[in-house]
Structure 1
Amino acid sequence: MSSLVKHIKKIDFFGAPLVQHIDKEQSIYKSILGGIITFLICSVSLFYTVWVIYLWHTNQFSPKISSSVYVSNFSLLDFNYDLIKLCFYKYDENMIDPFETKVLLPLITYTENYTYTETKLLSLSNETSYYGNKFIIPQIRLGFTNFNNILITTSETYIQIVRCTPELLVEGEQCASEEISNKFFSQAQNIIIMQIKYKQINSQDGSIESSIQEFFVSIEQLNCYTLNTFLQSSFYEVKDSILFGSPKQLEYVNGALIQPQTNTIQYCKQAFGVETYASLYVVMKGNQIKTILEYPNAGDLLANIGSIVSLLFMFRHIIVFFNSYFLNEKIIHDMITYYYPQFSKLQIQKNWKNDIIKVTLQHQQLDLNEYKKFYKDIRLKIETKLTYVNMLYEISRMYILIRSNKPQSDIKKCHSIGVKLGHLRLTTLAIDPLSKVEPHSKEQEDQTLNDEDIGILSLQERKKQFKINNIVDEELEMLDFYDINRIQL
């Protein structure tokens, strides 16, 4: 069992070392300068931490952005919004809008595997354009097939601007009269505007922003204009989790390549079966740009804060150097006062270069050169005395001195003696069963160890003795070693 306990103790990595106190108040030397610098460093570090968190919370940190060409299957692409809008360029209120007057009709045709499957008449929406007329908002349908690892567009959308015929109208509606039609075609400019709405992610805060690009198609009686529109999209991977979490994947149309073409009315009529003045072909472009937005997470913030705090704590080495110097000076000063108690009463004046210019003791000026010589000599001795090897050497010499006055048998007895706890007894029964004799004479009482023996050589006792034994007997023949060397402070 005891062996198991020993092994359990060995694996404890929370062990606490013994920290020897420098004095009664502190185990680590600390100074006012170190306290001021510590306060400043901690204050600046806290302020910087709050500032970094504020910048992160208000999305003022720029993300890491990387881009590459990417082949998408467009599975995340959303067409269920006003991606494309059409309107007549009515820059004058007196101009004839061909869609409102039914001079022209907008048709939408969907294909499947390059075959026309459905044609519908587009109606005017309730949304008003900048020019005051109504928008036409078609629903775009696109489909894709993977063939030999190549993505092919198999479902496309055609938007045709055709001459109004009664067969294309719903019941109760009529086409414009010949007079209105002729008046429309005689206008100075007849332009159809195609607006494409793009979406992209704002890298600053990750919000979705929209923009619009306009393309113009002219309407003429003798020509048919084709606008092949290849939509471009961007694939976004947004990493904005605080610590853990999967990235968000988004896909938006953010551009278009336009291929204009001018054909005859006969060509378009043969292609679409009706008299067509404009054809807008809409398809997706296979390649796209993949953009990865990686926003700072908790780890990045801590690394950011930690790097600055580490830089600030470089001042720690300077303060540690000064504290080590001051600690060494304090110990040397205290050691000198142990041998020269009056040393603590010296008043030393220094100039701006830290050179000693005056030394006084009890209002009496001392010889400056003699003091410097004395201090240099005694400091060297104290520094030598404080070395670890020297302390071991002095302990060994103490034993030799004791051995010169005591036989080994007496010295060995010290291992079995100590201060007794007899004063703690509750009854007359002795606590120490080995004790047979209670001290009953003055001589025995003086030789009995008690609580005062524990601290009799301590610094605390030193302070007491300076207060008590501060009077020297004037009779020289009665003076002993202690009286001769006693110091009055």
Structure 2
Amino acid sequence: MFHYLSKIDNFGAEFKPRITNSEHEHKSIIGGVFTLLVYGVCLAYFIFVLQQWQTGQILPKILIESAVAAFSKFMMPNDLIAISYIRYEDQDIDPFSEQGNILMPMVAVLENNKPISYRSILNNNEVSVYGTNLVEMEQMELVKNMRNDKSQENNKVYMLLITTCKQQYLKPNQTCASESEISNFLNLGLIPIEITVTLQQFSTSDQQLYEVEKRLQFLLQDNLALKADLLFQNTKSIIDDHPLFSNQKRFVYFSDFTVLTQTLSNSNLSKSIIQDDVFIQIAFKIDPIETVQQITYVKIGEMLAEVGSIANLLLTVSWFIQQFNKEELENKIIDEIISVYYPQFKQITKIKNCMGRTIELRHEKEKINQKEFNKWYNKVRQNVIIKLSIVNQIHEISRLYFILRSQANFQSMIRFQDYGIQLPNKLFEKQKDEINNELPSRDFKIEDYDIESSKIITNNLCDEDLNILSYRLNKDK
């Protein structure tokens, strides 16, 4: 059972023999510089992306779809629509003034195309950019029932009508201009009227709705009437801003509108809804086509994946540094082995130019023929490369064994299996003889084991024998 558990261990440690006395793997200055560069760039990019993510500067994914809604009901916010007169000169008369009023804005509410309410919205709450009275419409509740579903509310449409001032619609403290003043004003020709519509848009940076004004200008004429339909586009925004999981929030608002206009005679337009003369008739409706946009903000996983892609690219480039280190390691080991066989080799000094190319070779004070040295070096290098192979190392060890075997019989060779350096007596609290008596007996035959020669060889060994042939010990001498 325990044997099979050890087989499936995925965290096993691999033994790596040292290249030299203190190095498990070869590392270079160029590799260190590039490592700092790679991880420095990755860390800087991660901090940059994290800062953008926290401040909402990373654009979310937005999917926009259009759908036809058979039924819609929407309560439009206050001050959505305002009417004003465009005055070019300060002395021009404001037709929407409450005192001496000339043009009166009226609102008609239609349910299933039948008027259910008709009233004046003349007020003096705000002043337009032209210095004239800014008339704001009241809050409107629009209902769209395309299929006339009896289980749902009836269609409800609001209309803005601009007529001449009528005494019966005035509020307290409001007056009409005289008929001559009204007639003189209408005879001026084209009268510019501006409609300001306040729409809403969704801000992806702070996840809030903000207002956007859209302006329409119409020209009022005495003998003609302008009919316009404003189809408001209903937008549903579904927001998913959770950093890990799904967390949807919904916003419903009017983001835009479409204008359909036509010009009719004044008499034909007015008799269709009310009995008053109408110069401008604007109907506010809901567009049957609504927009659904799904906004998904960047998750932590996507952000880390983006940073990881940059890291992978840089680590791919690091392959060249690995190849450089590999070649440099091979050259270093080859030179070390050559020095073992040719001790004078490590005393050779190489003089290089700024490009790293060897231009001169010296052994102590004597100059070396570089051409002949290169020929010799390439030949020796090939031989050393062969010596580095595992097969060649085993081959050389086997040859040494055969040489020793030719000088001693099998029984003499096998005795050396148990020979070794004895531990110092000072390590043990008991006497040496007591320890030897407690040692387990071997299954060797008496005739195959020379006790006297074993003691002689073992007693002659000491701690210094451990490294007597060590490459490092001989190099440090």
Distance in 2, Cα, partners of 1:237 & 1:66: 10
Q: Secondary structure at the match of 1:20?
A: coil
8 A Cα contact 1:359 1:368, kept in partner: no
8 A Cα contact 1:112 1:156, kept in partner: yes
Deviation of 1:157 (Å): 0.8
Partner of 1:198: 199
> Residue deviations 1:251-280, cap 9 Å, x none?
433132222332333651452244444322
State how 1:112-131 maps to structure 2 within 5 Å. Answer: 112-131=111-130
> Residue deviations 1:222-258, cap 9 Å, x none?
5443222222344445555544334554443313222
State how 1:204-243 maps to structure 2 within 5 Å. Answer: 208=210, 210-218=212-220, 220=222, 222-238=223-239, 241-243=242-244
Deviation of 1:391 (Å): 0.7
Q: Secondary structure at the match of 2:129?
A: coil
**Of the candidates 337, 347, 350, which is equivalent to residue 349 of structure 2?**
347
8 A Cα contact 2:227 2:264, kept in partner: yes
Relative to structure 1, the CA distance from residue 182 to residue 31 in structure 2 (aligned partners, 3 Å threshold; closer, same or farther) is: same
8 A Cα contact 1:153 1:283, kept in partner: no
Partner of 1:134: 133
- How large is the Cα RMSD of the aligned pairs? 3.8
Relative to structure 1, the CA distance from residue 369 to residue 112 in structure 2 (aligned partners, 3 Å threshold; closer, same or farther) is: closer
Partner of 1:13: 10
State how 1:284-323 maps to structure 2 within 5 Å. Answer: 284-293=286-295, 296-323=298-325
Is the deviation greater in 108-117 or in 265-274? 265-274
Distance in 2, Cα, partners of 1:171 & 1:376: 113
- Gaps of at least 5 residues in structure 2 are 442-450
Task: Tell me the amino acid that sits aligned with residue 86 of structure 2.
Answer: Y
Distance in 1, Cα, partners of 2:4 & 2:176: 100
Relative to structure 1, the CA distance from residue 260 to residue 153 in structure 2 (aligned partners, 3 Å threshold; closer, same or farther) is: farther
Number of aligned residue pairs: 456
**Of the candidates 62, 75, 88, which is equivalent to residue 91 of structure 1?**
88
8 A Cα contact 2:228 2:259, kept in partner: no
Task: Tell me the amino acid that sits aligned with residue 214 of structure 1.
Answer: L
Q: Secondary structure at the match of 1:22?
A: coil
Deviation of 1:67 (Å): 4.3
Task: Tell me the amino acid that sits aligned with residue 383 of structure 1.
Answer: I
- Gaps of at least 5 residues in structure 1 are 467-489
Partner of 1:105: 104
Distance in 1, Cα, partners of 2:410 & 2:74: 98
Relative to structure 1, the CA distance from residue 369 to residue 103 in structure 2 (aligned partners, 3 Å threshold; closer, same or farther) is: closer
Partner of 2:144: 144
Relative to structure 1, the CA distance from residue 112 to residue 401 in structure 2 (aligned partners, 3 Å threshold; closer, same or farther) is: same
8 A Cα contact 2:72 2:143, kept in partner: no
> Residue deviations 1:266-295, cap 9 Å, x none?
651452244444322111221244455555
Deviation of 1:131 (Å): 1.8
Distance in 2, Cα, partners of 1:248 & 1:117: 37
Deviation of 1:108 (Å): 1.8
Partner of 1:330: 332
State how 1:244-393 maps to structure 2 within 5 Å. Answer: 244-246=245-247, 248-250=249-251, 251-265=253-267, 267-269=269-271, 271-293=273-295, 296-349=298-351, 354=357, 357-360=360-363, 362-365=364-367, 371-393=373-395
Relative to structure 1, the CA distance from residue 453 to residue 209 in structure 2 (aligned partners, 3 Å threshold; closer, same or farther) is: farther
Partner of 1:480: none
Identity of aligned residues (%): 26
Partner of 1:458: 470
Distance in 2, Cα, partners of 1:453 & 1:60: 70
Deviation of 1:29 (Å): 0.6
Deviation of 1:448 (Å): 4.8
Distance in 2, Cα, partners of 1:98 & 1:377: 106
8 A Cα contact 2:350 2:358, kept in partner: no
**Of the candidates 429, 435, 450, which is equivalent to residue 426 of structure 1?**
429
Q: Secondary structure at the match of 1:156?
A: strand
Distance in 2, Cα, partners of 1:282 & 1:37: 66
Q: Secondary structure at the match of 2:95?
A: coil
8 A Cα contact 1:192 1:219, kept in partner: no
Deviation of 1:338 (Å): 1.8
Is the deviation greater in 417-426 or in 172-181? 172-181
> Residue deviations 1:85-113, cap 9 Å, x none?
11233333431424423444332222333
